Structure 1
Amino acid sequence: MPEISIIVPVFNTGKYLSNCLDSILGQTFSGFEVICVDDGSTDESADILAKYAKNDNRVKIIAQNNAGLSEARNNGLEAASGKYVLFVDSDDSIHTRTLEITHALAERHTADVVSFSYVRIDHLYKDISQIDNSKDTPYKLTNKPLFFCNKKGKWSISFTAWGKLFRSSIIKNRKFIPGIYFEDYPYIVCLLKSQPTTIILQTKLYNYTYNPSSITQTNVTPRKIQDYHIGLNYIYNECFGSKEFKFILRNIFPNILKQQFNLILRSEERDKKVLWESFQNELVDLNRKKCIRLIGNKLRRYIMYRKLIKNAK
């Protein structure tokens, strides 16, 4: 049985896929399986996967009709047999020592999550993170990881599912919301709210590839605004009444609303009317739940939210 299951959702990333898989198969730690979930790719991705699976029995392929990233990850989780799980997006790559370092720390501290940093790259895989082999990698150990979510400064945990090694037992029964964009942040927030023992690394072990055709880089749509709303409602339903909820209202909600606000401001003028209407509906619903507050928001943006809410039909 492998120690680590690496889940790689794949959808039309043939340009990047070999570099992703090479970075995984070239790890200094060998006790892993790679579960590649082909989400109905129509490019050369399926052929690339077949070639790798033929040459390395650690590579396993799951084929599904196009259902989105959430379902690909969920199906990968069902098939995973490792003690730990790592998500790697198929247009990204990882440092050659990612598994070695994160696994050692997780075992040493009986950690549930090991979160690490990333480098943004605009080209194909290159092992650009420099790690000092002469001393231990600096890290922070906490059982209140939510309070480090998207925090500025030395120790921070991102909203992304990638960039983290998870103990399987804490995520096997937790599913990503199917059928939505931006599924990472509600998943991570609700997981960290349960106070798993977490190690935070500053070390850059993940190479995030700028892909202009990825979900996060393409234009905002009313559907995407609605999906942000679904994610916030999911957090509200999971976390309301908890002692962490005040932190969520002050830090997580304002951050996600700001992302949407800025995306709409940068959108094409012809699209703004319908986007503002979708955002307005979200604000009205969240205000009804008492989730729109001044604290955590810039005053100018908060005033704009209040105007939108007041002018709602």
Structure 2
Amino acid sequence: MIFPKVSVIIPIYNAERHLRQCLDSIVEQTLHNIEIICVDDGSTDTSLDILREYADKDDRFFIIRQQNQFAGMARNNGMQHAKGTYLAFFDADDFFEPDMLEKAYDQCEQDQADLCLWSADYYDTNTGLSTPFDYCLDRALIPPTLPFSVQDMPDCIFQISAPTPWNKLYRRSMLEKHQLLYPSTKRSEDTFFASMAMYHASRITIVDKPFVHYRQAHGGNQQSGTDLTPLDWYHVMLQLKEALQSKGGFDFVYDSYLKLLIGNGHYYMFLMRSWEGFQSVYANLSRELQHEQTRRPNRAYALPKWYADIFRHLTTTSQSEYLLHELKQQTAACDALNNQIAQHVQALQTLKQENIVLQTLLRNSIRRQYRKYRLLSHCTFGAMRRRYRRKKTELKAKLASQSL
């Protein structure tokens, strides 16, 4: 029996709007020896019908149905049925470059890696434009020699790549060896899984290309549900801490964990759309950081400035004072952006004026050249006409002399 090289696992819940584009981009992968495991997480729209339509045309599809248990449990369900040497987890509203799996698979085989990372870009649904997703893969942290592992960079192992499921290729045997599964939380489950995979992988490699087009939508309410489960991220971070402690590696990666805790907490704090959600995130993050300050006094202040500043404010100021600090920070950032915009506008105006001058010079040059051409043509034609008349006269004279 020939096993697939890669098992693609996609949790799907009411994804009919963008599902076809996602599936088409996987069907068209240049790596053909794959299986496509689609886990319908209790969809109530036409997602299941779309999956059946694709499965009827392509025997690489395998459909699993379950009651709504969220993306993490759907991925776990898919893993139980996967047969590929490597696993890839994708979201149903994104789409992908056709050579993604082939390039990642080849790189893993070449480096005998447990994990391969790649980059992505943001895709704006409204405009159809793509912009770099710099946070997805931090190029400044990529080590000079590949492959690498946590032993090479314990202080930033969790920062080199965003803890997303869709920019990684995992060796299945590595996941099974360490019994890695997604938590059952509604959100942030990928932080635990991706971080533990980064910790356990003995060889990590990279293909620095934006293979994933991560869809962004505006004007909708796609993130409002975060306020209903504001502490999922926090419970996941505690679960990650406990897992690292049980493996005896928490102290080894402590700085990287602390940066992940601060970064995730800050992100979710300002993702909240309600004051209650903000308060909940703030209180738990502040309490956890104060606990870490007690355990390791002043350790956080050795972190990079952005993390150290947040740590200091969350452990020494009130919620209102912290919000005021953030407002000042954001105001300063907006002012800096406005200054950049003004500089760009001025540069465009200068280019516009230079363009007008160049167009005027070009038109004048063309007119001069045209006048020269007309004059030269007229002179040339006159000379040719005189030469013709002279030759004609000479020929007549010659003929007249011969007739005599």
> What TM-score range do you get, normalising by the shorter chain?
0.7 to 0.9
Partner of 1:60: 62
Inter-partner Cα distance in structure 2 for 1:89 and 1:269: 27
Residue 255 (structure 2) pairs with residue 253 (structure 1): no
Partner of 2:199: 193
Query: Does the 8 A contact of 1:149 with 1:158 survive in 2?
Result: no
Residue 313 (structure 2) pairs with residue 307 (structure 1): no
Amino acid in structure 2 at the alignment position of 1:194: H
Tell me whether 188-197 or 250-259 shows the greater mean CA deviation.
250-259
RMSD value, Cα? 3.2
Q: How many residues align?
A: 294
Query: Does the 8 A contact of 2:51 with 2:63 survive in 1?
Result: yes
Query: Does the 8 A contact of 1:139 with 1:202 survive in 2?
Result: no
Inter-partner Cα distance in structure 2 for 1:127 and 1:306: 40
Q: How is 1:276-295 mapped onto 2 (pairs within 5 angstroms)?
A: 276-283=282-289, 293-295=300-302
Query: Does the 8 A contact of 1:140 with 1:201 survive in 2?
Result: no
Residue in structure 2 matching 1:116, options 107, 115, 118: 118
Secondary structure at 1:120's aligned position in 2?
Answer: strand
Secondary structure at 1:199's aligned position in 2?
Answer: strand
Q: Note the alpha carbon deviations across 1:275-313, whole angstroms, 9 max, x for none.
A: 43444454466567659833326444223322379xxxx
Q: How is 1:264-275 mapped onto 2 (pairs within 5 angstroms)?
A: 264-265=269-270, 267-268=272-273, 270-271=275-276, 272-275=278-281
Compared with structure 1, are the counterparts of its residues 276 and 165 closer, same or farther at alpha carbon in structure 2 (3 Å cutoff)? Answer: closer
Residue in structure 2 matching 1:183, options 186, 189, 193: 189
Partner of 2:25: 23
Considering fraction of residues, name the structure with more helix: 2
Partner of 2:212: 206
Partner of 1:157: 161
Partner of 2:369: none
Compared with structure 1, are the counterparts of its residues 82 and 286 closer, same or farther at alpha carbon in structure 2 (3 Å cutoff)? Answer: same
Residue 88 (structure 2) pairs with residue 86 (structure 1): yes
Q: Identity over the aligned pairs, expressed in percent?
A: 24
Amino acid in structure 1 at the alignment position of 2:103: I
Query: Does the 8 A contact of 2:107 with 2:206 survive in 1?
Result: no
Inter-partner Cα distance in structure 2 for 1:208 and 1:251: 25
Secondary structure at 2:87's aligned position in 1?
Answer: strand
Normalising by structure 1, what TM-score? 0.81
Compared with structure 1, are the counterparts of its residues 53 and 146 closer, same or farther at alpha carbon in structure 2 (3 Å cutoff)? Answer: farther
Residue in structure 1 matching 2:100, options 98, 102, 118: 98
Residue in structure 2 matching 1:239, options 236, 244, 254: 244
Give the number of the structure with larger relative contact order, counting CA–CA contacts within 8 Å between residues 6 or more apart. 1
Residue in structure 1 matching 2:4, options 2, 5, 17: 2
Residue 177 (structure 2) pairs with residue 170 (structure 1): no
Query: Does the 8 A contact of 1:228 with 1:256 survive in 2?
Result: no
Inter-partner Cα distance in structure 2 for 1:40 and 1:74: 15
- Unpaired runs of 5+ in structure 2? 132-143, 319-404
Compared with structure 1, are the counterparts of its residues 222 and 66 closer, same or farther at alpha carbon in structure 2 (3 Å cutoff)? Answer: closer
Q: Note the alpha carbon deviations across 1:64-109, whole angstroms, 9 max, x for none.
A: 0000111000000001011111111111111101121111122222
Inter-partner Cα distance in structure 2 for 1:233 and 1:114: 26
Inter-partner Cα distance in structure 2 for 1:174 and 1:150: 16
